[in-house]
Amino acid sequence: MNPQAKLIFAISLLLGTTITISSNHWIMAWAGLEINTLAILPMISKSHHPRAIEAATKYFLVQAAASTLVLFSGMTNAWHTGQWDITQLTNPVSCLILTSAIAMKLGLVPFHFWFPEVLQGSPLTTGLLLSTTMKLPPMTLLYMTSHSLNPTSLTIMAILSVATGGWMGLNQTQIRKILAFSSISHLGWMVIIIIYNPKLTLLNFYLYTLMTATTFLTLNSMKALKLSTLMTAWTKTPPLNAMLLLTLLSLAGLPPLTGFLPKWMIIQELTKQDMATAATAMSLLSLLGLFFYLRLAYCTTITLPPHTTNHMKLWHTKKPTSIMIAILTTMSTALLPASPLIITII
Amino acid sequence: MDLPLALNTFMTLSLITLTTPILLTLLSGSLKDAPTTITNTVKTSFLISLIPMTIHIYSGMESLTSVWEWKFIMNFKIPISLKMDFYSLTFFPIALFVSWSILQFATWYMASDPHITKFFTLLLLFLIAMLILVTANNLFVLFIGWEGVGIMSFLLISWWHGRAEANTAALQAVTYNRVGDLGLILCMAWLASTMNTWEIQQLPSTHQTPTLPLLGLILAATGKSAQFGLHPWLPAAMEGPTPVSALLHSSTMVVAGIFLLIRTHPLLSTNQTALTLCLCLGALTTLFAATCALTQNDIKKIIAFSTSSQLGLMMVTIGLNLPELAFLHISTHAFFKAMLFLCSGSIIHNLNGEQDIRKMGGLQKMLPTTTSCLTIGNLALMGTPFLAGFYSKDQILESLNTSYLNTWALTLTLLATSFTAVYTIRMTVLVQTGFVRIQPLTPMNENNPAVTSPITRLALGSITAGFLLTSFMIPTKTPPTTMPLSIKMTALMVTALGIALALEISKMTQTLTLKKQAPLSNFSISLGYFNPLTHRLSSTMLLNSGQNIASHLIDLSWYKKLGPEGLADLQLTASKTATSIHSGLTKAYLGSFALSIIILLMSMH
């Protein structure tokens, strides 16, 4: 792509995110969301093949609808209460519509249908942006309006998200779709605790961003888009494959790795709030996710008997070592001992 | 003279004499000329056993000998004791007489067998076991004898073990006997736990006995004496050699079940349910066996079914609460049934192995002694006046007609009596009279005394035994003294009717052709369809239920389906359903979004 165009899109992305994060007027929030939508569209459809165009179209339609709903909820609230403050959302209809709008923006069940297809149609780096940066504004809005959202619908949506993410992810062979459903699962975990302790939502989001970024960047360096490619990629960078195993297990939430921290804190908080059934349901449904993470991990670190490989191992790897991947991998696997520090900071 | 001492001594001497050949073989190696030795041993034993019987007839003395006491646990003693009362003292000479004749016959019949020594030893062992059973005073010793005769029956039926039918017949015998043994063990267990004894003297006879142990006893008798329900083994047991059929399956082993009921009669007499059960079971058996015998073509099978029918009649007598009459019938039946089997054995060997009566005929002129004795035996079986069978059978039928009982049982028994006459006459006519249907070159002779003397001896017994036995038997229950003439003549009339019918029908078969398929004759020929139904059904059900429980229920259901596999299947279903919802159509997605929002608004507002 044209470097100037890339620059404009990147700056617009930053601008949109910043506007929404720092807004306290509904119009500003909406404007930021719209700028984000428009800025990422060309990045999705960078390669002009039909799948990418379709992904871009779907993304635009859904996000436009969601932004409209955000605007309408703010407007209805202003009509009824006379003020446009984001934190002062009191009209019940507005609250409900805002819940569904944010769900649509984020990709919570039952508003998640667009997410896997959009992620599948976009290149890996754009996919990373979609999973992390594009979730930041809606997450901020969620955080700011958490007291005025409907708890029941949020809980239902959260548990359904974890379930859908688990079951759907089992039946995929394309890695981007698997990561989309993993994202939906994690969103479920984030949303269930927003009513009781919003800080934990943010903690979960940050750590999720960390781990997803690691995964996406690792896959990008391996250029692995499907499971079959992943199985033969170990010959190129064997240590990176081994680290990918740990990163995936961290995404799954296995104890000595970082991904365990948010789940642990959320389960603790839910139990304290007398929501033990919900906590049990979420944990059991996350096991489904564990299965496909393990499948991915097995494909990356497939152990073969000592025999001639299917293709030559490249011993002059021209790939430069990426500092970013190194740092992110370390952080996404080894942060658990520092959990008191992290919880205090966030 | 010290009579009790003499009684005990001679009885035990008689028993010990029987064990002599076996002990000699154990001590010194092989036995020279085993058949003759064993035959002479049994003859000696018979002569010795006449003395205690005479003592009993003379003085009415009975005795009870305790040999050794096994202190099982503190309160439960099992004495190994022999009871010499009327039943055992009378049965001993009769059984030994019949066995002597059979063994003498077997020296000719099994002369060409390479393992004749083993055969005679097995027969001797059987005889010892049977006599232990008869003289047992408690159920423990009786059980020893009971199992002994069962095992011997198994070994002897499968004597020609190269033949598959013989093996299956032996297995049938053992299985059906085992089912009966369950009943005996049940009764023994009940007795041990409630009466704390297995002695026959200590069985209660005053108050009402519970039905459970009696059911056990009746089950034991059903198994051993081939009553209906556990009867298929008796016709199948004809696979064994004729001496085996004569000794075991006509005179001695099969009456063991009836003998058990006679011994434990005090228990039975108070429980009307058990008595009625015996009555009806016996009546059913006798009619069923007689029906099956009508269409049999194998001479040994006809006699086997005849045995089964007479056993049913004995069971009916038990049901009438007349144990002594049953014993009388056992004794008289032993004579003529053994003789019938020996005659059939002589015929079979002379015809070079032919057992089908359709291929015999006109043997009267060729085997005069055998066929005359066959006729005597058949007449005795039918209950011809003043032959052996008359004394017991006619008394039974008179008591049946004059007692207050189940009309159905009465009808069945009378019908079976006429059927007895029918099949007996059929057999006689087809074997002895008419045109000769045997192979052209069949050299046959009766010159060997080993053939003729046992048969004639038993014929003498068949004629006189009834008279002799009733002379010195004192009935403890009053026999019916007066009855209308028609009732008195019922047995005779029914038998005569059967004879006439059989003769007429036999004449008809020589002129008319038989109908192809008739349901009644099919029923009789296939032995009531009992064998295929029960044998196949029981094993299929057992194996099926075994597979269901072990393999399907436990392995498949509990360990797999309700565990990991079932869970995995559930997740698979959920995953597939969820995947099919994600169709990829934007309109569907947006529509679902709109629907979700509407539902949300509707429900939460």
pLDDT in tens, A91-129: 999 999 999 999 999 999 899 999 999 999 999 999 999
Contact by Cβ (8 Å): B42, B96: yes
Give the residue on B whose Cα is nearest the Cα of A169. B575
Q: Is the pLDDT of residue A258 over 90?
A: yes
Mean pLDDT of A30-46: 95
pLDDT confidence of residue A306: 66
Q: Is the pLDDT of residue B29 over 90?
A: no
Q: Which one of A61, A116, A170 has the shortest CB-CB distance to B590?
A: A61
Mean pLDDT of B145-156: 94
Mean pLDDT of A141-152: 91
- The answer to whether residue A326 is domain-embedded is yes
A56 contact B CB<8A = no
Query: B423: Cβ–Cβ under 8 A, 6 or more apart, which residues?
Result: B290, B293, B294, B296, B302, B305, B306, B502
The DSSP 8-state label assigned to residue A149 in this structure reads S
Q: Alpha-carbon distance A37 to A52, whole Å?
A: 15
Q: How many CB atoms lie within 10 A of CB B380?
A: 27
Q: How far is B578 from chain A (nearest CA, A)?
A: 6
Q: Is the pLDDT of residue B78 over 90?
A: no
Collapse the DSSP code of B177 into the 3-class scheme (helix H, G, I; strand E, B; otherwise coil) and give the result: helix
Contact by Cβ (8 Å): B98, B251: yes
pLDDT confidence of residue A303: 62
Q: Is the pLDDT of residue B512 over 70?
A: no
- In this structure, of B25-34, B296-305, B359-368, the range with the lowest mean pLDDT score is B25-34
Instruction: Give the DSSP letter string of B232-283.
Output: THHHHGGGS-HHHHHIIIIIITTHHHHHHHHHTHHHHHT-HHHHHHHHHHHH
- The answer to whether residue A53 is domain-embedded is no
A110 contact B CB<8A = yes
Q: Residue A281: in which H helix or E strand, if any?
A: helix A276-300
Collapse the DSSP code of A335 into the 3-class scheme (helix H, G, I; strand E, B; otherwise coil) and give the result: coil
Instruction: Write out pLDDT tens, residues B390-443.
Output: 999 999 999 888 888 888 999 999 999 999 999 999 999 999 988 888 888 888
In the numeric block, which tokens belong to residue B244? Answer: 């085996």
| Helix, strand, coil percentages in chain A from 3-state DSSP, rounded to 5 | 75, 0, 25
Contact by Cβ (8 Å): B373, B343: yes
- In this structure, of A149-158, B99-108, B178-187, B549-558, the range with the lowest mean pLDDT score is B549-558
Give the residue on A whose Cα is nearest the Cα of B574. A167
Structural domain containing residue A172: 150-308+318-345
Residues of B with a Cβ under 8 Å from any A Cβ are 571, 574-576, 578-579, 582, 584, 586, 588-590, 592-593, 596-597, 600-601, 604-605
Q: Is the pLDDT of residue A320 over 90?
A: no
Put simply, the answer to whether A168 touches B582 (Cβ < 8 Å) is: yes
Residues belonging to chain A: 346
Nearest residue to B128 (alpha-carbon basis) of B277, B19, B279: B19
- In this structure, of B228-242, B253-267, B498-512, the range with the lowest mean pLDDT score is B498-512
- The answer to whether residue A68 is domain-embedded is no
Q: How far is B559 from chain A (nearest CA, A)?
A: 21
Number of domains in chain A: 1
| Identity at B525, one-letter amino acid code | I
Mean pLDDT of B101-114: 93
Give the residue on B whose Cα is nearest the Cα of A58. B586
Residues of A in contact with B584 (CB under 8 A): 117
Give the residue on A whose Cα is nearest the Cα of B603. A153
Q: Is the pLDDT of residue B499 over 90?
A: yes
B167 falls in which pLDDT band (50, 70, 90)?
very high
Q: Is the pLDDT of residue B126 over 80?
A: yes
Instruction: Give the DSSP letter string of B199-229.
Output: BSTTS--SSPPPHHHHHHHHHHHHHHTT-TT
- The answer to whether residue A133 is domain-embedded is no
- The answer to whether residue A209 is domain-embedded is yes
Put simply, the answer to whether A168 touches B575 (Cβ < 8 Å) is: yes
- The answer to whether residue A207 is domain-embedded is yes
pLDDT confidence of residue A212: 96
Q: Is the pLDDT of residue B596 over 70?
A: yes
Q: Alpha-carbon distance B216 to B201, whole Å?
A: 19
Put simply, the answer to whether B576 touches A150 (Cβ < 8 Å) is: no
pLDDT confidence of residue B423: 94
More confident residue, B604 or B442: B442
- The answer to whether residue A113 is domain-embedded is no
**Disruptive mutation site among A58, A76, A99, A113 for chain B (greatest number of B CBs within 10 Å):** A113
CA dihedral B264, B270, B274, B276 (to 10 degrees): 120
Give the residue on A whose Cα is nearest the Cα of B586. A58
pLDDT confidence of residue A301: 83
Q: Is the pLDDT of residue A315 over 70?
A: no
Collapse the DSSP code of B387 into the 3-class scheme (helix H, G, I; strand E, B; otherwise coil) and give the result: coil
Instruction: Give the DSSP letter string of A23-52.
Output: --BHHHHHHHHHHHHHHHHHHHTSS-SHHH
> What percent of chain B shows pLDDT beyond 70?
99
Q: Is the pLDDT of residue A307 over 80?
A: no
pLDDT confidence of residue B440: 87
Q: Tell me the sheet residues that pair with B71.
A: B77
Q: Is the pLDDT of residue B516 over 80?
A: no
- The answer to whether residue A95 is domain-embedded is no
> What percent of chain B shows pLDDT beyond 90?
60
Report whether the peptide linkage leading into residue A110 is cis, meaning its omega lies within 30 degrees of zero.
yes
Residues of A in contact with B593 (CB under 8 A): 62, 65, 100, 104, 110-111, 113
Q: How many CB atoms lie within 10 A of CB B31?
A: 16
